[in-house]
Amino acid sequence: MSPQMNIKNSAKKFGGYMKKAAVFNDLSGFGKCSLTAAIPVLSAQGVQCCPMASAVLTNQTGYEYHKCTDLTAMIKDYIDNWQKNNAHFDGIYSGFMTGSKQIELFMDFLDVFYEKNTMLLVDPVMGDDGRTYGIYSAALLDGMKALSRKADVITPNLTEACLLADYDIEKVYSDTRKDVLLPIAAEISEKLRCLSGKNQDVIITGIKCRDDKSPFIYNLVTTANGTTTHRSHFFDVSFSGTGDLFASVICGSRLNGFSTEEAAERAGKFLYDSIADTMNDDTAPNDGVNFEKFLRELM
């Protein structure tokens, strides 16, 4: 029996083929975000994370001092070498992009590696809480729109969903009562599904409803089956990396056969437990959450 056959037989014995996900995101030394969130979360779910670094940062940009090295020039090397090595992926997941040029090159990556049975998840990083990040530009938005419409699953927060669907951010955020904000978010998510022109799943994350007596945060999931909402306790602190953790759970869950609705439920519980534990510590928001304690939930 050949070594290859032995490997295949062992894989069947111990749970089957291990799925692979190519993850395009930055690598930050501190902040528990991006690739330092995706690698352990996917690994805990039995998915091999194949990282493509969009940039390397000493620490995430929320800290007062940081240094960023842009790795746009390496994207063609990833494409060339992975193609020569006959790489194939069950999932592709994109996060932080430094600009429109990276999106353009990532589209070239998709031309090679986004195959018929590959799941593409796009987390369109552009802003949060009604404000855009420093990387934002009209060209970045145009690129994110094109990339998001190719995806099977997208996980924008409410700010990013507004940008992708051309909704007035200030107007959407002007009334954060649940009965007002959630219907608008549902309208936005349905528009995004229509714009994709495919059977896309849309998850709008971090919808903060500040009703006087019941402040909650919602994730809104829109699929071909309709729209569902997932509610969690509202912590009025914005920790680094929570969006990356959420999207990473979604990616791993989908690759393991969970529906998008089930994946969102798993991700919401994982984040709630991680944030609640962190709130008991004297942890600065830039330092991220204690998610490592709860990786066992995903195994």
SS3 14: coil
In a domain, 274, yes or no: yes
Residue by residue, pLDDT tens for the chain (299 residues) are: 444 444 444 444 445 689 999 999 999 999 999 999 999 999 999 999 999 999 999 999 999 999 999 999 999 999 999 999 999 999 999 999 999 999 999 999 999 999 999 999 999 999 999 999 999 999 999 999 999 999 999 999 999 999 999 999 999 999 999 999 999 999 999 999 999 999 999 999 999 987 766 678 999 999 999 999 999 888 888 999 999 999 999 999 999 999 999 999 999 999 999 999 999 988 999 999 999 999 999 99
In a domain, 72, yes or no: yes
Nearest to 244, CA basis, from 96, 118, 127, 97: 96
The number of domains in the chain is: 1
Per-residue confidence (pLDDT) for residue 32, from 0 to 100:
97
Per-residue confidence (pLDDT) for residue 214, from 0 to 100:
66
**pTM of structure:** 0.93
In a domain, 6, yes or no: no
267 lies in which domain range? 19-294
Per-residue confidence (pLDDT) for residue 2, from 0 to 100:
47
Task: Show the beta-strand stretches assigned E in the chain.
Answer: 19-28, 47-57, 68-70, 91-94, 119-122, 127-128, 131-132, 153-154, 201-209, 216-223, 226-233
CATH classification of the domain holding 169: 3.40.1190.20
In a domain, 14, yes or no: no
Per-residue confidence (pLDDT) for residue 27, from 0 to 100:
98
